[in-house]
Amino acid sequence: MTTSTVSASPVMGSKPKFKLPPEASILMVLIGISLFFEALGWYINSQSFIFNLERLQIIILQMSVIGIIAVGVNMVIITSGTDLSSGSVVAATAVVSASLAQVSDFPRAIFPALTDLPLIWPILAGMTTGLLIGMLNGSLVAYAAIPPFIVTLGTMVAARGFAKWFTGGMPVSMLTDDFAWIGSGANPVYIFLIIAVIFHIVLRYTRFGKFTYAIGANRQAALVSGINVNRHLLWIYAIAGLLSGIAGSVTAARAISGQSGMGVMYELDAIAAVVIGGTSLVGGVGRVTGTVIGVLILGVMMSGFTFIRIDAYYQEMVKGAIIVIAVIADKYRNKKRGR
């Protein structure tokens, strides 16, 4: 009796250990990279990098479209899937939304009878296009049991081809001021932040989020527990397509033009940001907050290389190395978790 009391007392009297959130280490990486470029900036250019408010705003603005895509890609990867089509979906939705935002006096309008439309229509057109492509991805992954890599690789090629066919290889220009307003100033950043907050809440505090993690952690167990896995996967890919559609409209509004060449390699940037942010490629682990930090890390690195005048092709090589390193780190984390 005495022994059990003595042995239990340290446990009862011990204070719960404070545990840092998973994003803390990723945030430290962001701070470290920022300070590294700050030091290089003073050494090479005698200028501040990260403590320059204008430059910070430019970094966040440049990465806002990638961030919007990454929020959707994050959910796909949590379910142990992948989405290679998001960059091409950006192009497809950009040209569709721009085609309904042309001014009436433009002689080469794609739809002469559908010009000077209220802002809501081109936005809805872009979102609907992205949603339909996402639902196609989800249907083939969930119900046809085709691997996500193959499905989204196919739609990546098809969506880019659609964008080229739709425009005939020509830019969709002469857009209304109302549509251009979406991409002006800090509006893309606000859109990104609103989307990030919404899906952070969805993943952390709703049944939809719990189902998403359950499917990624153990699909068979999720199925046995009563989750309609196929329907849920359909909606996950549909949401990812919808967010790519929003990103396409924002991209067209920023450029005041819709072009079939938009969004090239955006899918890899989004995947890199998600994996850097701590989302596991084997599924079941990941947060929107980590993805946001991953987007910022990618933006700081690319902007930092430009700031210290490193050529663009070196930047692509470094970006590829970052993806490989992030995957190696993910494998190491999964090994520690016993997965």
Domain ranges of the chain: 42-270
Pick from 323, 318, 298, 264: which is nearest to 34 by CA? 298
Q: How many CA atoms lie within 13 A of 289 on its CB side?
A: 9
For residues 282 and 38, the model is more confident at 282
Cα 85 to chain center, whole Å? Answer: 12
Contact 83, 155 (CB under 8 A): no
* CA gap 293, 305 in Å, rounded: 18
Percent of the chain with pLDDT over 90: 59
Cα distance from N-terminal residue to C-terminal residue, the chain: 40
Q: How many residues does the chain have?
A: 339
The string of pLDDT tens digits covering residues 43-102 is 777 777 766 677 778 888 889 999 999 999 999 999 999 999 999 999 999 999 999 999
Q: Three-class SS of residue 14? A: coil
* CA gap 122, 180 in Å, rounded: 11
The string of pLDDT tens digits covering residues 91-139 is 999 999 999 999 988 878 888 888 889 999 999 999 999 999 999 999 9
The string of pLDDT tens digits covering residues 217-251 is 999 999 999 999 999 999 999 999 999 999 999 99
Model confidence at 9: pLDDT above 70: no
Per DSSP, helices labelled H in the chain are: 2-13, 23-44, 53-78, 86-99, 120-142, 148-167, 177-182, 187-205, 207-217, 219-224, 229-255, 266-276, 288-307, 312-337
* CA gap 97, 119 in Å, rounded: 10
Count of CB atoms situated within 10 Å of the CB of 184: 12
The CA–CA distances, whole Å, from 65 to 21, 116, 288 equal: 26, 25, 15
The string of pLDDT tens digits covering residues 170-227 is 999 999 999 999 999 899 999 999 999 999 999 999 999 999 999 999 999 999 999 9
pTM, full prediction:
0.89
